[in-house]
Structure 1
Amino acid sequence: MVARWLGIYPAITLLLLVLGPLLLGRVPTPVSALILTAILVPLTQFVVFPLVERLTGGGWVRFPVLHGRARYRTALVVWACTYPLITAVLLATLPALLGRVPLPVVTLVVTLIAVPLQSLVVLPRVMPLALGWIRGGAVRS
């Protein structure tokens, strides 16, 4: 969870510094979350997490290595879990934070809520159900 947060926090902060002025407060929060998560999940899965693993020498942090369709299917499952979670967290926190605190503080609060929920609650329940599909078979019900 800490390693995920180490990758996600700076990635979403930079992404929001670039896209935030175009999205936040201009388009509905669910649309902002859709755009941001559509960029963030592949960015973290395919670029940021491997970079975090390399920077930590691979001994402290190890992310699962998947190949082919499994890699893309995993990213899709992660996105399908991330989008509603981030949307809910943004709807709950943005009214109190946006415009009142600097953007890095907003992303700090959002990621400190969302990453543990996703890593410890949502993904451990969803991934076993999707494992068959991820590996190339049907989704387990």
Structure 2
Amino acid sequence: MNPSSSPLRLTVGRWLGIYPSITLLLLALGPLLFGHLPTPIITLLLTAILVPLTHYLVFPLIERLTGGWVLFPAQHGRAHHRTAIVVWAVTYPLITLVLLAVLALLHGKTPIPVLTLIVTLIAVPLQSLVLLPAIMPKVRPWILNGTRSLAHKGA
């Protein structure tokens, strides 16, 4: 395994992309959403923006900014899009559960950047080190339908 694609580096890379992205989204949209919509709907809207944003734009930027210290699996076409769908399907319920737990304790008492720090420090390792490794092998045939392999950038 390429050290740049190790589970720990991928987790750190994901967190480096997700934390500032969700923080900025919540700073911009939080006042319009919190108190007006139920948490599962807020999470649905935010993850519908966040997952494509990070998957297609932020993670490639993280690779460049870290000089290749972290390399996300390179996929193209249908496999790339299907992976994004699977990641969203894992992320939405996970973030909803974490937010329901954390918001009950901290909403209105904690600034958004601290709130998102807490949520991402819980959710990203769970997603990256537990849930995705358990789910991806099961959905790999669907993801790769019509493609030969999951190549890694730089490998």
**In the alignment, does 2:84 pair up with 1:84?**
no
**In the alignment, does 2:38 pair up with 1:65?**
no
> Tell me, which stretches of 5 or more residues in structure 1 are unaligned?
none
* AA at the equivalent of 1:2: V
2:38 alignment partner in structure 1: 28
Q: How far off is 1:116 after superposition?
A: 0.6
Q: How far off is 1:24 after superposition?
A: 1.4
User: Which residue of 50, 59, 70 corresponds with 1:49?
Assistant: 59
Moved more, 79-88 or 94-103: 94-103
Percent identity, aligned pairs only? Answer: 70
1:102 alignment partner in structure 2: 111
Structure 1: distance between partners of 2:35 and 2:55: 28
Following TM superposition, the consecutive aligned residue runs of length 4 or more in structure 1 with deviations greater than 6 angstroms are none
Structure 2: distance between partners of 1:80 and 1:44: 15
1:119 alignment partner in structure 2: 128
Q: How far off is 1:95 after superposition?
A: 1.5
Q: Normalising by the residue count of structure 2, what TM-score does the alignment of the two structures yield?
A: 0.86
Structure 2: distance between partners of 1:56 and 1:116: 19
Q: How far off is 1:51 after superposition?
A: 0.3
Structure 1: distance between partners of 2:92 and 2:33: 16
Q: How far off is 1:125 after superposition?
A: 0.4
Q: Greater relative contact order: 1 or 2 (C-alpha under 8 angstroms, separation 6 or more)?
A: 2
- In the comparison of the two structures, how many residue pairs are matched? 136
- Aligned CA RMSD, in angstroms, stands at 0.8
Q: How far off is 1:82 after superposition?
A: 0.3
* AA at the equivalent of 1:112: L
Q: Normalising by the residue count of structure 1, what TM-score does the alignment of the two structures yield?
A: 0.95
Structure 2: distance between partners of 1:25 and 1:121: 32
1:9 alignment partner in structure 2: 19
Q: How far off is 1:25 after superposition?
A: 2.0
Structure 2: distance between partners of 1:24 and 1:89: 15
> Tell me, which stretches of 5 or more residues in structure 2 are unaligned?
1-10, 147-155
